[in-house]
């Protein structure tokens, strides 16, 4: 009976699109995932490996022997191999390279030479090139001879004899123009184009801004070397936003939801350790005021409120600013920094007086002490001002130093507002209430 | 001289793509933004309004009088008007509707009838339809007569006399096939299609999974009523990830970075108020242990460490799970919940024993008390277990109740780990050390 089920499952898998099989594999716990993986027809292995996330791909590759892996990788072109190469054994990459023709090998080598976040790592080589002096009629006949066009072909690339890009011919112009015209007459001569060492995130913004489907990539001499397509850009945008969310929560990288306990521990320990250290510093700050607290134990109960609201408010500010920077809406110029500081400090002042006022009244009534209430209002306002100040300065400074303004920003701001909040509150209390 | 500068600036603005002008406006403080906006030629107003973010669009519309606004909106088709309608005065929308022909009016009315997150609100109406019984030669001639094709036309829609979708003809097949063949012979009869009341985020996943550029939208009788294009989907993916980041930081909606102080206060007060309430609850929990703290003031210094690391770890868990749910990789079935609970509790146990152990040793040495060290280890482990438990149960429960699992998840988990952490730590200390 079990065998019968497997046969049925296999038949169903064969009907699914590789992307759907990939999605199914993502959503299965490890043992079930490997069971399904075994049922997938070997010739589809390659397509599916290219669709799954890095975390899941690792588990699938670990389950394949060298023969299977080699068979799957042999089907791939240079562009696909480049995506996979990081996870294959080094020897195998060499062996695969030798199996490629000279052009494909050169392309693979070049794709592997770029960083993950550069245009060169995202480009593919499936371009249709034409010459500018032929008529559209000739172009149409040429396309018909190709039998198949690469996916996302919304424009043809016009190059000269040396392969230098002269312009692009959008398919939609090709279709509506008089076939007797030449390519040169209707091509766009000033297309959006990219260089392989450009930042991929900036390319993604250009794709969004100009609603591109594909775009040429040229080297520094203007020679066409590849193209970018919207499907890669969509994946990049998705990954970018995910890594932002993950970074903020203190996860180092994408984690397969059904990963083993040890893998999860390894992925998460770093930010927990950082958090532990900053919490320890905050604890030592409190330790400075032991005497004050033992005289007025209410302070111990109230201090987390001051620290907590500072952290929340600081995170609001820093999120806003990191986001504006990611969207390229904010430069690190002095004028902008001052203007933002003025605004954020004003918001903090209002929030501090209003919410500090509310909680100050509550504290004054609860502990029957006007002084305590006043210390509470002052401390909350000061800590919110500190949160606003650091919420602007931390990402601005990181960016000016050429670092990612999101990385660890949330942990840093919380560390400042915790230690700062405890110090301000307990310090004011020692000065005013003792 | 100033006048001279303005003329130059205007000339430069005229050369820019509307999307670039929009980007410039986003990056300018309010007064500069409105100055530039005045310089933009009136006939480009509409295009630019459609490109800017909601927050910035509001500031621009507030600066226009009714005449200008009407002139800009009159240029738009139903699809564009639908995007703008929410921000226009009600009377004006009526007036604009009367200026449209019957078909456009019907389309606008239908687009406005869908929720923001439904396919119907994202679709446009720029479709090229053909019949299945004609030859490709005829199709090519028909396209040539159109003079221009809508953007993102990678396929033509094949419909019958009643407008029912029969299939799609990908342009890349049209270009490589024999012109004597008929549409019916080469069209794809089983295309990915959407219904107007479907969830837009699911449509976005389908676009990503099948690398679509455009797709038909049909009503329940199979009649073609519009199409989705990748540019709208890219905007949606960007917005989705932004709102996830903003929600987590306690910002209610997109905030223009140069918004006025009052607007920022209004946008941020809600989550600050929620945070204040949960912090107050945590404060009352500490208040329960006043006597214990006044006997052993070291507890006041150590308790934020226990609460803080619980919050950090709980946020890691909840982020993982919310993300897997957003990507549709996790169902709320009982098997999955139990499996995840087992994994997350194991991770928490290891982290608690390791990091709790480290900080326990430090505390024992620092305060010269083995008992205090042991209480620290136990409290940290228990609070991490609590964080893992709630980190799994909160989003799973929200999802089962049909709510957004991300909304407020971070505030909730922090509330639990704060109050819970203080209670566990101070409770254990009262029991064991007093």
Report DSSP letters for A157-226, one per residue. EEE-TT-BEEEEEEHHHHHHS-TTSBHHHHSBSS---B-TTSBHHHHHHHHHHHT-SEEEEE-TTSBEEE
* CB-CB neighbors (< 8 A) of B355 in chain A: 272-273, 276
Query: Which one, of B169, B72, B171, B180, lies nearest residue B130 by Cα?
Result: B169
Under the banding of pLDDT at 50, 70 and 90, the label for residue A4 is confident
Alpha-carbon span B201 to B240, nearest angstrom = 8
Complex ipTM, two decimals? 0.81
Same domain for B324 and B235? Answer: no
* CB-CB neighbors (< 8 A) of A207 in chain B: 234
What is the arithmetic mean of pLDDT over A366-392?
95
Same domain for B108 and B147? Answer: no
H or E, element range at A291: helix A290-295
Last residue of a domain, one of B78, B113, B148: B113
Same domain for B429 and B306? Answer: yes
First vs last C-alpha separation in chain A: 80
In a domain, A254, yes or no: no
**pLDDT, tens digit, 9 for 90 and up, residues A55-75:** 888 889 988 888 888 888 887
Q: Using CB atoms and an 8 Å cut-off, which of residues 36-95 of chain B contact chain A?
A: none
DSSP B141-192: HHHHHHS---TT--EEEEE-TT-BEEEEEEHHHHHHS-TTSBHHHHSBSS--
What is the arithmetic mean of pLDDT over B198-225?
93
Alpha-carbon span B395 to B29, nearest angstrom = 38
Q: Check B149 against A329: CB less than 8 A apart.
A: no
Q: Check B207 against A234: CB less than 8 A apart.
A: yes
Interface test with A, best of B214, B273, B280 (most A CBs within 10 A): B280
| The pLDDT value given to residue B194 | 96
Q: Using CB atoms and an 8 Å cut-off, which of residues 186-225 of chain B contact chain A?
A: 207-211, 213
In a domain, A307, yes or no: yes
Interface test with B, best of A20, A320, A350 (most B CBs within 10 A): A320
Is residue B418 exposed (0-12), middle (13-18) or buried (19+ Cβ within 10 Å)?
buried
Query: Which one, of A363, A366, A365, A357, lies nearest residue A429 by Cα?
Result: A363
Q: Check A144 against B178: CB less than 8 A apart.
A: yes
Same domain for B356 and B305? Answer: yes
In a domain, B146, yes or no: yes
Q: Is the pLDDT of residue B254 over 70?
A: no
What is the arithmetic mean of pLDDT over B329-358?
86
**pLDDT, tens digit, 9 for 90 and up, residues B309-320:** 998 899 889 888
The DSSP bridge pattern shows strands A155-159 and A129-130 to be: parallel
CA A21 to chain CA mean position, Å: 24
Alpha-carbon span A337 to A389, nearest angstrom = 10
Last residue of a domain, one of A220, A249, A278: A249
Q: Which residues pair with A194 in a beta bridge?
A: A217
Q: Contact A100/A78 with Cβ under 8 angstroms?
A: yes
* CB-CB neighbors (< 8 A) of A175 in chain B: 140, 143-144, 149, 171
What is the arithmetic mean of pLDDT over B292-310?
93
**Backbone angles phi and psi of B155, in degrees to 5:** -155, 150
Distance from CA of A199 to the nearest CA of B (A): 18
Q: What is the CATH number of the domain that holds B311?
A: 1.10.357.20
More confident residue, A319 or A404: A319
Q: Is the pLDDT of residue B271 over 70?
A: yes
Under the banding of pLDDT at 50, 70 and 90, the label for residue A420 is very high
Is residue B254 exposed (0-12), middle (13-18) or buried (19+ Cβ within 10 Å)?
middle
Q: Which residues pair with A118 in a beta bridge?
A: A199
Residues spanned by the domain of B40 = 2-113
Query: Which of A183-187, B345-349, B406-410 shows the lowest per-residue confidence on average (mean pLDDT)?
Result: B406-410
**How far apart, in Å, are the Cα atoms of B245 and each of A319, B370, B406?**
8, 42, 10
Nearest CA in chain A to B210: A19
In a domain, B30, yes or no: yes
Q: Check B234 against A233: CB less than 8 A apart.
A: yes
| The pLDDT value given to residue B252 | 65
Mean pLDDT of chain A: 88
Which is it for the CA torsion B250, B253, B258, B262, positive or negative?
negative
Q: Tokens in use for B126?
A: 């720029």
Nearest CA in chain B to A285: B301
Same domain for B292 and B426? Answer: yes
Query: What value, to the nearest 5°, has the Cα angle with vertex A255 and ends A251 and A256?
Result: 160
Q: Is the pLDDT of residue A398 over 90?
A: no
| The pLDDT value given to residue B337 | 81
**How far apart, in Å, are the Cα atoms of B409 and each of A434, B79, B318?**
40, 35, 7
Domains: count for chain B: 3
Distance from CA of B250 to the nearest CA of A (A): 6
| The pLDDT value given to residue B248 | 65
Nearest CA in chain A to B423: A301
Nearest CA in chain B to A352: B272
Q: Using CB atoms and an 8 Å cut-off, which of residues 221-250 of chain B contact chain A?
A: 230-231, 233-235, 237-238, 241-242, 244-246, 248-250
Same domain for A364 and A243? Answer: no
Cβ atoms < 10 Å from Cβ of A387: 30
Query: Which of A195-209, B312-326, B337-351 shows the lowest per-residue confidence on average (mean pLDDT)?
Result: B312-326
Under the banding of pLDDT at 50, 70 and 90, the label for residue A383 is very high
Same domain for A171 and A238? Answer: yes
Alpha-carbon span A67 to A70, nearest angstrom = 5
Tell me, yes or no, if B129 comes closer than 8 A to chain A by beta carbon: no
**How far apart, in Å, are the Cα atoms of B418 and each of A249, A307, A425, B292?**
17, 12, 19, 18
Q: Is the pLDDT of residue B85 over 90?
A: no
The residues, ordered by sequence, that sit 6+ positions from B308 with a Cβ below 8 Å of its Cβ are A275, A278, A279, A282, A414, A418, B421
Tell me, yes or no, if A143 comes closer than 8 A to chain B by beta carbon: yes
CA B45 to chain CA mean position, Å: 27
Query: Which of A103-112, A290-299, B94-103, B246-255 shows the lowest per-residue confidence on average (mean pLDDT)?
Result: B246-255
Nearest to B261 among A244, A320, A347 (CB): A347
What is the arithmetic mean of pLDDT over A294-314?
92
In a domain, A81, yes or no: yes
In a domain, A118, yes or no: no
DSSP B291-347: HHHHH-THHHHHHHHHHHHHHHHHHHHHHHHHHHHHTT-----HHHHHHHHHHHHHH
Query: What value, to the nearest 5°, has the Cα angle with vertex B27 and ends B25 and B30?
Result: 65
Pick the most confident of A103-107, A330-334, B84-88, B220-224: B220-224
Q: Tokens in use for A358?
A: 């509310």
Q: Contact A385/A345 with Cβ under 8 angstroms?
A: yes
Mean pLDDT of chain B: 88
Q: How does DSSP classify residue B126?
A: -
Q: What is the CATH number of the domain that holds B64?
A: 1.25.60.10
| The pLDDT value given to residue B237 | 87
The residues, ordered by sequence, that sit 6+ positions from A89 with a Cβ below 8 Å of its Cβ are A66
Query: Which of A323-327, B184-188, B405-409 shows the lowest per-residue confidence on average (mean pLDDT)?
Result: B405-409
Under the banding of pLDDT at 50, 70 and 90, the label for residue B299 is very high
Tell me, yes or no, if A180 comes closer than 8 A to chain B by beta carbon: no
Which is it for the CA torsion B295, B297, B302, B307, positive or negative?
positive
Q: Check B301 against A287: CB less than 8 A apart.
A: yes
Alpha-carbon span A142 to A135, nearest angstrom = 11
| The pLDDT value given to residue B100 | 84
Tell me, yes or no, if A282 comes closer than 8 A to chain B by beta carbon: yes
| The pLDDT value given to residue A249 | 65
Distance from CA of B7 to the nearest CA of A (A): 24
Alpha-carbon span A15 to A21, nearest angstrom = 10
Query: Which one, of A157, A186, A289, A36, lies nearest residue B148 by Cα?
Result: A186
Alpha-carbon span B22 to B27, nearest angstrom = 9
Distance from CA of B34 to the nearest CA of A (A): 16
In a domain, A37, yes or no: yes
| The pLDDT value given to residue B326 | 75
Q: What is the CATH number of the domain that holds A160?
A: 3.10.580.10
What is the arithmetic mean of pLDDT over A294-305?
93
Q: Check B319 against A249: CB less than 8 A apart.
A: yes
| The pLDDT value given to residue B58 | 87
Q: Which residues pair with A188 in a beta bridge?
A: A168
| The pLDDT value given to residue A30 | 85
Q: Is the pLDDT of residue A200 over 70?
A: yes
Size of interface A-B (CB pairs under 8 A): 310
| The pLDDT value given to residue B319 | 83
* CB-CB neighbors (< 8 A) of A327 in chain B: 26
Q: Contact A139/A183 with Cβ under 8 angstroms?
A: yes
Alpha-carbon span B305 to B424, nearest angstrom = 12
| The pLDDT value given to residue A248 | 65
**Backbone angles phi and psi of B231, in degrees to 5:** -65, -40
Alpha-carbon span B46 to B18, nearest angstrom = 9
Same domain for A395 and A372? Answer: yes
More confident residue, A251 or B294: B294
Q: Check B235 against A321: CB less than 8 A apart.
A: no
- Count CA atoms closer than 13 A to A224's CA, side-chain side: 28
| The pLDDT value given to residue B381 | 96
Distance from CA of B35 to the nearest CA of A (A): 17
User: Which runs of E-coded beta strand occur in A355-412?
Assistant: none
Tell me, yes or no, if B296 comes closer than 8 A to chain A by beta carbon: no
Tell me, yes or no, if B170 comes closer than 8 A to chain A by beta carbon: no
What is the arithmetic mean of pLDDT over B374-392?
96
Q: Check A300 against B316: CB less than 8 A apart.
A: no
Query: Which of B216-230, B261-275, B365-379 shows the lowest per-residue confidence on average (mean pLDDT)?
Result: B261-275
Alpha-carbon span B99 to B89, nearest angstrom = 16
Same domain for A210 and A353? Answer: no
Q: Is the pLDDT of residue A433 over 70?
A: yes
**pLDDT, tens digit, 9 for 90 and up, residues B121-169:** 899 988 899 999 999 999 999 999 998 899 999 999 999 999 999 999 9
Nearest to B304 among A209, A230, A282 (CB): A282
| The pLDDT value given to residue A31 | 85
Query: Which one, of A150, A114, A123, A77, lies nearest residue A228 by Cα?
Result: A123
In a domain, B375, yes or no: yes
CA B297 to chain CA mean position, Å: 46
Q: Contact A78/A101 with Cβ under 8 angstroms?
A: no
Same domain for A288 and A316? Answer: yes
Q: Contact A17/A24 with Cβ under 8 angstroms?
A: no
Q: Using CB atoms and an 8 Å cut-off, which of residues 315-374 of chain A contact chain B?
A: 315-316, 318-321, 323-324, 327-331, 339-340, 343, 346-347, 350-351, 355, 358-359, 362
Query: Which one, of A232, B33, B336, B398, lies nearest residue A240 by Cα?
Result: A232
Q: Check B213 against A152: CB less than 8 A apart.
A: yes
Q: Check B241 against A237: CB less than 8 A apart.
A: yes
Residue owning tokens 């036309």:
B153
What is the arithmetic mean of pLDDT over A160-188?
95
Nearest to B234 among A234, A362, A414 (CB): A234
Tell me, yes or no, if A309 comes closer than 8 A to chain B by beta carbon: yes
Q: Check A148 against B172: CB less than 8 A apart.
A: yes
Last residue of a domain, one of A80, A113, A146: A113
Our CA dihedral for A198, A200, A201, A205, rounded to 10 degrees, sits at: 80
Same domain for B291 and B425? Answer: yes
Nearest CA in chain B to A245: B245
Q: Is the pLDDT of residue A253 over 70?
A: no
Alpha-carbon span B220 to B222, nearest angstrom = 5
Q: Which residues pair with B215 in a beta bridge?
A: B228
Nearest CA in chain A to B148: A176
Under the banding of pLDDT at 50, 70 and 90, the label for residue B242 is confident
Same domain for B7 and B90? Answer: yes
Residue owning tokens 């396919």:
B119
Q: How does DSSP classify residue B41?
A: -
């Amino acid at each position: 009976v079990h065998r019968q089920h497997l046969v049925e499952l296999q038949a169903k898998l064969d009907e699914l699109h590789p992307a759907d099989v990939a999605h199914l594999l993502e959503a299965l716990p490890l043992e079930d995932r490997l069971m399904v993986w075994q049922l997938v027809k070997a010739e589809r292995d390659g397509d599916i490996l290219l669709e799954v996330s890095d975390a899941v791909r690792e588990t699938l590759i670990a389950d394949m022997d060298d023969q299977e892996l080699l068979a799957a990788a042999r089907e791939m072109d240079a562009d696909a191999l480049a995506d996979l190469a990081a996870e294959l054994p080094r020897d195998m990459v060499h062996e695969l390279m030798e199996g490629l023709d000279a052009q494909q090998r050169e392309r693979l080598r070049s794709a592997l030479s770029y960083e993950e976040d550069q245009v060169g790592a995202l480009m593919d080589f499936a371009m249709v090139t034409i010459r500018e002096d032929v008529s559209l009629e000739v172009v149409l006949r040429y396309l018909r001879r190709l039998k198949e066009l690469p996916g996302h072909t919304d424009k043809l690339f016009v190059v000269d004899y040396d392969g230098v890009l002269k312009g692009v011919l959008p398919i939609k112009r090709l279709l509506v123009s008089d076939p007797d015209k030449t390519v040169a007459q209707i091509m766009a001569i000033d297309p959006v184009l990219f260089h392989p060492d450009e930042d991929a995130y900036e390319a993604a913004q250009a794709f969004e801004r100009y609603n591109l489907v594909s775009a040429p990539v040229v080297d520094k001499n203007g020679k066409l070397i590849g193209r970018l397509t919207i499907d890669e850009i969509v994946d990049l945008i998705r990954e970018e936003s995910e890594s932002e969310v993950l970074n903020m929560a203190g996860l180092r990288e994408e984690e397969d939801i059904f990963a083993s306990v040890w893998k999860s521990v390894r992925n998460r320990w770093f930010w927990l350790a950082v958090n532990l250290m900053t919490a320890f510093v905050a604890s030592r700050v409190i330790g400075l005021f032991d005497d004050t607290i033992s005289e007025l134990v209410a302070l111990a109960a109230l201090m987390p409120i001051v620290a907590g609201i500072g952290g929340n408010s600081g995170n609001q500010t820093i999120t806003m600013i990191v986001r504006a920077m990611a969207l390229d809406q904010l430069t690190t110029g002095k004028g902008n920094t001052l203007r933002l500081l003025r605004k954020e400090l004003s918001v903090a002042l209002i929030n501090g007086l209003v919410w500090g006022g509310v909680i100050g009244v509550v504290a004054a009534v609860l502990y029957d002490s006007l002084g305590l209430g006043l210390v509470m209002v002052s401390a909350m306002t000061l800590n919110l001002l500190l949160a606003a100040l650091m919420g602007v300065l931390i990402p601005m400074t990181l960016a000016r130093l050429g670092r990612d303004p999101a990385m660890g920003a949330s942990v840093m701001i919380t560390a400042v507002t915790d230690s700062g909040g405890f110090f301000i509150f307990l310090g004011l209390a020692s000065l005013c209430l003792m």
